[in-house]
Structure 1
Amino acid sequence: MGTEQGFGIKGAEPRRGLMRDWLSLLLLQAVLALLVFWSYIDGSRYFAFLDIAADTYEIFTSHAVHLGRLLQREGWSGWSFGIGLGAPVSFMFSDAFRLLTMAGGPEHVLELRIWVYLLKLVLGGAAFFLLVRTLVERREAALLVALLYSFCGYVVINGVWDPEANPFIFFPLVLWALVRCMRSGDRIALPLSVAAALVSGIFFLTLSVSLAVAFAVLVAMSERRIETLRLLSCRAVPLIGLGFVVAAPVALPIALQQFDSPRLPNSGSLLAKIWNEGFQVLDIPLWLLQLGSFFHKDLFGSANTYRGYMNYLEGPGFWVGMLPLLVLPQLWKGDRGERRALLVALVAIALYIVVPAFRLAAFGFASPYFRSTTLWVSLPLLLLAARAFQRVFDQGVDLRLLGIGVVFVGGCLGGVAFLLPGNVVPAHVGKVAVFIAAGTLVLLFAGLGWLRGSRLASSALVLSMVEIVAVDWPSMNTWRSTVSATRQPFRDVTEPALAAIRRADSGVYRIEKTFTSVSEADAVAQDYMGVKSYYYHGSAVVDFHRNMDLMRRFPFPTPPVNYTNWLAGPDERFAVAGALAVKYVISKDVRDWPGFTLMGSGPGWYVYRNELALPLGVVHTRQVTRREVGDLRRQPPDRQRWFRDLTLFNAVVLDEPMPRWGRRWDLGGHAARGILDMPALYAQPAEQLRRTGLQLTSFKNDHLEGRIAPTEDGILVFSIPAYRGWSLRVDGQEVPLVRADFGFIAAPVTAGPHAIELRYALPGLVPGLAMGLAGLLLVAALGWRRPRRDPAASLSGA
């Protein structure tokens, strides 16, 4: 039945006609996509949500729009001041598919989103079909499971989050390449598929752990485990490493940004966390929720009505249809390899459900998400189901094994419904029960000899298509809040207010709002420089927000593990706003804030000018240390904040004193003052800082030029987070940067006028390009030489 290896069971080489089969799959995918996603395809809705999947609009849409604008205006830039106080854009380039949504320009991102999603659905199904054809010869079996995979619960629910749809494509593609490597010694497909997975935005640790899990399963399924382990270690692992090298131009800058996250030191040791939390195996309610997820997440509700684990997108979801679950026991009548594969898969799935360590290890911060790790369950289920379908199409159904499958599947559904009555949706229970009954009936007819061969395959295909529509349509169309042509929350009173500001002032400054149109990511979508942000932030900008007491407050005792993604603005703290170059504030109502004057207004909006706004760079001639500022902890919280605000206008905060570059500022003496929140206390230092500070002559996001004119030696401080990659030239000479004001870039300067040039180069990009080119050359060299087939690769179990 073909060559013997890839998954510990006899495999099959894909036959001629693969393109014809792909076209057949594409036609079936198109029919189902039209039925399930029609309201998005016809333009009634945009494929961006305002419910639990709001990141599709707040983040993924806004990032694509922002990146499109940035590329139009400046070409390539590694930095954007539209992301809070400024941040690297490497994360915006982390998903190659995102660039496709920008193909029509930033103004058409929303319209293109559904088509990019459908492209992913098609590609994922095609990749899975390619993989499953290495295991089965019967095209009907391969088409059936590939169609079920194309519309599995993971891609329909989790896949709406842009990066989460990418593992759906590349997990089966990498597995297919691994099978080719194991069987024929192919040395091209594996490194290129791994590189494509990383370039598409799959987290390198998630991919690495997923491959480790796949290796363990392959070895366990094999009859010759030592030979299989040798092949994996000596042949596959080096090629996988080569794939990481090829992906370095994208993967290396992203990895460096990830390692700069403040979540790394705050999350504790990853291994310790996995050990402490990953082996808490007696979480019975979570077991039941995972068991119920084989019947679709909608068993526990849809979108914001979901009553399962965490939320609709983070919780488990293993649905691949009822027929695959009912037919799996038929493998027990197969050969020894099939029985062993079935046992290993069931044990592995049970371990995944019971032991959280596996999925915790797949995320860099041991986050308790399920996300793409649910494919570790869906993929083996459908791969084994393909073998089972092939067996029943060729040899019929064993009624005794069918009975076992029906009792087990029905018992699991009934048990979850009985034990979690407050979580399940009765209507969905009834729907699933109908398809269990229908699948049982089809297989029963096959067992009785009434349906055989192609008639049985056609019946199974039609039933699966009906189930896909009946189950997936509500997930996309019921209880969903979406963006549309007439409902786009980013397009509100902010637009006319921004237009009024820009008509009056063509300079470079930051703007803040007293409200959020959608989220802290408003500036990215609405095209202005702000302070508030929703992004994967670095340690420096979080350090500033934390020390200035600007962190977002959460309505629960323990903030989420990713709490540093949300950074708040200064609100009415005029001194902080001024120090951060926030020159204008947009409000929906009248404000009487000290230091702000009304600049303009319109229907539903008011614009206030901050009279204390400083330029992006100022020169301080006095300094205090972080330790001195830290001593303010003895003061009441409100006074602590005002002392810090006052400090930003009067001195630079340094980790260690630099007496050559300024006098000490007596913070303790000022702490004895009574009232600190009067703008008059800040007016004189603000005027001095503006007069001697940075006057921009040229501005691009990654390249600033201007002049300063300090009257004394001091420290030039930019309100720019101290990410790696910045370099400063003063009068043409490069000057080392230091860190100041809890997380900003700074440098010592002498008295007198100076020309300033500040540049940003994305860390890791240049070495990544060199590594990627070297990796591609090595792949090309490997392609010139035909591999020598290893006899062990064709042994059973290899």
Structure 2
Amino acid sequence: MGKKLESRKSIYFKYTLCFLVTGILVFGWLVAYGKSFVWDFDGVFQHFNTLAYYGKYLRKILMTLIREHRFVFPMWDLSIGFGSDILTTLNYYAIGDPLTLLAVLVPGSRTEYLYAVLIVIRIYLSGMAFIMFCRYHKNQGNGVLLGAVTYCFSGFVLFCGARHPYFINPMIYLPLILIGIDKIFNREKPWLFVGMTAISAISNFYFFYMIAIVMVIYAVFRYLMIYGRIRIKEVVPWLLKFAGWSFLGIGIAMPILLPSAMYVLGTGRMSAKNYIPVLYPLAHYARLLNDFFGVDYIAASPRYYTVTGFAPIILVALFILLVSRKKHRELKWGWVVLTALLLIPYAGHVMNGFSYVSNRWIWAYGMLLAYILVKLYPDFLELKKSEKRTLAVIGCVVLPAAQLLLSKYATLHGWLGIGMTAVTIVILLICSGMKKQQFFAAAMVVTTIVSIAGNAYFLFSPDQTNYLKAFRAKGAPYAWLTNQAQNNLVKELEDTDTFYRYDQYGNIARENTAMQNRLYSTDFYYSVTNGAVAEFFREMDTSNPIEQMYDGLDGRTILDRLTGVRYFIVKKGHEEYLPYGYDEKVAENKKYTVYKTEQTLPFGYTCDSVITREVWEELSVTEKQQALLQGAYIQGETEYDTDLAQTSLVFNDVEPEYEITTDGDIQIEGNQYVVGKSGASITLHYQGVENCETYLVLEGLNYDGEATKFGMTVTRDDVEKKETVYTERNSFYSGKENFLYNTGYHEDASSEVTLTFRKAGVFTIENLYLAEQPMESLDQQTEALKENILENVEFDENTVKGTITLDEKKILVLSMAYSKGWKAYVDGKEQAVLQANGMFCGLELDAGEHVVEMHYCTPYLIPGLIISALCLTGIVIFLIWKKKCK
């Protein structure tokens, strides 16, 4: 017992020492160059932002409990997009991950250090979990050490560890879940399996789905190893047993898993019909040998997230597995199955939730390869002469020859990997037959760490692929979200009104910064978005190409008014991007200027008529936006039944006739635009009108080619807007093909709009036209909607309160995103919440004075809590019963 304990302590001590050395060599690049661990884009505005927000969120709960003796969980935040559910939006990034609870101890200004520490802890724990898995299967010695180091410092970790920190979590959970599966097969207690299943499901629904698939594959392999073949009398009881324990773990996780899963499944991104090729491009396969040893961070994401980058000793172990003795057949078949999945696009489609093709499950493949190293390591010095010769030929001849053959795709990190593979084989051959293996073990550890350090060098070094440039400077992330964000100018105005939004155009938006500055905005960027908001954006053909990211409302005056935009931010000196009515300059600094308007709608405004579905569906996009300033459109599965009058719609938009001229290598063939060289353009010449916004509308926009995205530039006079469109081959594609590009408001008539194609290829545009929206009736329509408004508005945790007085029955529209989680109480009586005017909450109110209260609860949270409580109660009853039986 003492020797076992000493051996266990020894392996963990050795691992910790190797981890520290390797970690310094890997992440020392960030420290040495004064970089934070925060990736430039998603890292700042999603991951780091969420961690800082979560810390404030947890501290607020504690302070409310201590000071007010109330236990309140905020579930809705109006400062996230147009209003978002906190749990379902942020579960993907922080809420549910046990490690992020530490954020409660760290102020926002110091979150950067916690962020880095958590990345290191996640990587360390993944190696620890791997060691626990190996030791459960009676593996000991230096093979376990090498396997743990190669597992926790694979290319996937180097690439994603700081880029997407929570991508490392499944590497911690999977080994422990697999131990739980083995315990069940060995008729031991199932609580590790149940507990880790619950934690994994709570932590991240997306990766739990992948883990579940790997769990099934592993359980099938273990069953075949035990019974040799499938027999009904054994397989049925095992299926029932695993199903029962799995459902128990999932049931415990239901308070977070159920709301998050339902939220994700309701997004257009999940339902979009992405392009699924039969095979990957040949170039993708050709790069696999080279990329086995390293990571090209520039190409990793576009190439279906097939991020490899393994230590060369892994390849040596794999060679020995495939060319040596007949043992370890289960590992050979496991490698064959997972490798096949890695090479078939449809498998990436399935593993990614039947969405776009992505191999983000490759961390599981890395665990298999690391375990192959663990199992084959004892065989390294016991090879037959024929096996040694074969190994020498493969490592020292075949690999270099293959790299030369694929020299078009060869890189320095690939040659380093092949060289280190040869060095490893040479050391193995020299040490073969030695009685003392300490030198060989030390040499393997050194070569492995050197290989990983070399991989990090080629990844991070400014002299190589320079991944460093993708990370923010030390101290910058929190400043970017707060005092250096454009909206800080709006915050400094200290507007005491209870509600107003800001919008911006002509500058790079910093999404989600309103969360930190406690403002209300028109920008958002998280992996899943409110379905009502996405539906509104599709109805309005907004210019944002990504469903889950929007940087404002394209400066469209009507949309800004509907959403209560009081302040508009533009780059200093670029007032041409201002919408109509924003003529009062209220703040500025060296980069930005803020303008204000009084002609916008308040948080709660009213409509005295409704637009029927039949009428709505016949309207053009420009007519739809005008209609929303005249009446209320109520969405739902059936036509809204009301005795309110139908809106008598009046439209004043103009679609001018135009002539097209071309510039550059472009041919127009019907509705196809054949662009021979990027930069070619078409110009629409027309006779415009004064005092209007001019729109270029593209319906049925598609690209015939293999590109995942393409860029276009729309210009009118001194307004230039660069736009990006994603194709069905892109992971961000959500099925959107109709776009309205606003070329801005102008007092004088315009006569030309130019569309420039920034990519060569064949473009299809089913319908292309110009539309001009005069501003002459907007102020009158806005004032009409402000005749009766919600007053005395109060925002509290999960509640909105206000009063309103009406002379007649009207629809009250609240300027926050609709969700099934809202319940309304008018004068104390519950009333149905309507989805009004696209994405907003609406209430039908009779004439008279009313007190309106809105209460929010995350959809499916209560059923999830009930299921979880039943599962936990069942566990307690089961344990009491077991104890009594004993």
TM-score band, normalised by shorter chain: 0.7 to 0.9
1:620 alignment partner, one of 603, 607, 631: 607
Opposite residue 610 of structure 1, the aligned amino acid is T
Q: How many residues align?
A: 735
Instruction: Return the structure number with greater strand share.
Output: 2
Distance 2:401 2:808 in 1: 77
Partner of 1:351: 340
Matched with 2:241 is: 235
Deviation at 1:779, TM superposition (A): 3.8
Shift of 1:124: 0.3
The one-letter code sitting in structure 2 at the alignment partner of 1:116 is L
Change (3 A) 1:430 1:383: same
Name the CA distance, whole Å, in 1 between partners of 2:285 and 2:171. 24
The one of 455, 462, 470 equivalent to 2:454 is 470
Question: 1:381 offset after TM fit, Å?
Answer: 1.5
Matches within 5 A, 1:111-510: 111-160=113-162, 161-203=164-206, 204-219=208-223, 221=225, 224-226=228-230, 229=235, 232-267=238-273, 277=276, 280-281=278-279, 283-297=281-295, 301=296, 303-304=297-298, 306=299, 310=302, 314-331=304-321, 338-371=327-360, 373-392=361-380, 396-408=382-394, 413-414=399-400, 417-418=403-404, 420-425=406-411, 427-447=412-432, 449-450=433-434, 452-478=436-462, 479=466, 480-481=468-469, 482-485=471-474, 487-488=476-477, 489-490=480-481, 491-492=483-484, 494=486, 496-502=488-494, 504-510=495-501
* One-letter code aligned to 2:566: K
How far did 1:169 drift?
1.0
Is 1:521 aligned to residue 512 of structure 2?
yes
Shift in alpha-carbon separation, 1:193–1:231, aligned structure 2, 3 A: farther
Whole-angstrom distance in 1 between the partners of 2:506 and 2:868: 44
Which residue of the partner structure matches residue 805 of structure 2?
A: 709
Query: Which residue, 526, 543, 552 being the options, matches 2:544?
Result: 552
Change (3 A) 1:419 1:43: closer
Q: Would you say the 8 A contact 2:485–2:510 is kept in 1? A: no
SS of 1:650 mapped into structure 2? coil
- In 1: Cα distance, 2:775 partner to 2:250 partner: 55
Equivalence for 1:790: none
Counterpart-to-counterpart distance in 1, 2:187 and 2:641: 68
**Contact 2:176–2:196, Cα closer than 8 Å, also in 1:** yes
User: Identity over the aligned pairs, expressed in percent?
Assistant: 19
**Counterparts in 2 of 1:579 and 1:612: CA distance versus 1, 3 Å:** same
In the alignment, is the contact (CA less than 8 A) between 1:45 and 1:485 conserved in 2? yes
TM-score, normalised by the number of residues in structure 2: 0.77
Distance 2:146 2:122 in 1: 18
Aligned twin of 1:100: 102
Q: Whole-Å Cα distance in 2 between the matches of residues 627 and 705 of structure 1?
A: 34
Shift of 1:680: 4.6
- 1:352/1:677 CA distance change after superposition, 3 Å: closer
Picking from 598, 609, 612, the partner of 2:596 is 609
CA 1:163 to 1:496, structure 2 compared with 1: closer, same or farther past 3 Å? closer
- What CA distance in whole angstroms lies between the structure 2 residues aligned with 1:658 and 1:457? 75
Partner of 1:573: 556
TM-score by length of 1: 0.85
Which residue identity lines up with residue 187 of structure 1 in the other structure?
P
Shift of the alpha carbon at 1:127? 0.3
Farther off after superposition, 436-445 or 234-243 = 234-243
Per-residue Cα deviation, 1:34-79 (whole angstroms, up to 9, x for no partner): 22213546892211122xxx31112111222233344455762111
Aligned match of 1:61: 48
The one-letter amino acid paired with 1:152 is S
**Structure 1 position 388, deviation (Å):** 0.9
Give the 3-state SS of the residue equivalent to 2:848 in structure 1. Answer: coil
* Residue 764 in structure 1 maps to residue 860 in structure 2: yes
Q: CA deviation at 1:629?
A: 3.1
Output the CA distance in 2 between the equivalents of 1:109 and 1:741.
39
Query: Using a 3 Å threshold, how does the CA distance of structure 1 residues 516 and 403 change in structure 2: closer, same or farther?
Result: farther
Which is worse superposed, 778-787 or 608-617? 778-787
Which shifted more, 465-474 or 323-332?
323-332
Deviations 1:433-488, CA, capped at 9 Å, x for gaps: 221121012111122x2474333222211221222222224434541221123544
Check 1:493–1:379 CA distance in 2 against 1; reply closer, same or farther (3 A cut): closer
SS in 2 for 1:23: helix
- The alpha carbon displacement at 1:335 in A equals 7.4
**What code does the residue aligned with 2:794 have?**
S
Distance 1:103 1:424, change over 3 A: farther
Q: Contact between 1:253 and 1:763, CA under 8 Å: does it hold in 2?
A: yes
Q: CA deviation at 1:758?
A: 0.8
Q: Equivalent of 2:80, from 58, 63, 83?
A: 83
> Structure 1: how far apart are the matches of 2:457 and 2:875?
43
Structure 1 residues 63 and 516: alpha-carbon distance in aligned structure 2, compared to 1, 3 A threshold: farther
Residue 146 to residue 421, structure 1, CA distance change in 2 (3 Å): same
- 3-state DSSP class of the match of 1:258? helix
> Residue 512 of structure 1 contacts residue 569 of structure 1 at CA under 8 Å; is this kept in 2?
yes
C-alpha deviation, 1:200, in angstroms: 1.9
Q: Unmatched 5+ residue regions in structure 1?
A: 1-12, 554-562, 634-639, 788-798
Secondary structure of 1:377's counterpart equals helix
Larger helix fraction of residues: 1
Structure 1 residues 125 and 547: CA distance shift in structure 2, 3 A: same
SS in 2 for 1:704: strand
* Counterpart among 23, 31, 34 of residue 21 in structure 2: 31
3-state SS, counterpart of residue 24 of structure 2: helix
Partner Cα distance (1:405, 1:223) in 2:
33
Cα distance in 2 for partners of 1:103, 1:43 equals: 28
- 1:631 matched to 2:653? The reply is no
Q: Does the 8 Å contact 2:501/2:522 carry over to 1?
A: yes
The answer as to whether partners of 2:75 and 2:858 remain within 8 angstroms in 1 is yes
Separation in 2, partners of 1:259, 1:437:
48
Aligned residues: CA RMSD: 3.1
Instruction: Work out whether residues 694 and 707 of structure 1, in 8 Å CA contact, stay in contact via their aligned partners in 2.
Output: yes
Match of 1:542 in 2: 534
For residues 476 and 776 of structure 1, do their structure 2 counterparts lie closer, same or farther at Cα, with a shift above 3 Å needed? farther
Q: Which moved more, 1:65-74 or 1:193-202?
A: 65-74
Deviates more, 1:470-479 or 1:81-90: 470-479
* 1:471 alignment partner AA: N
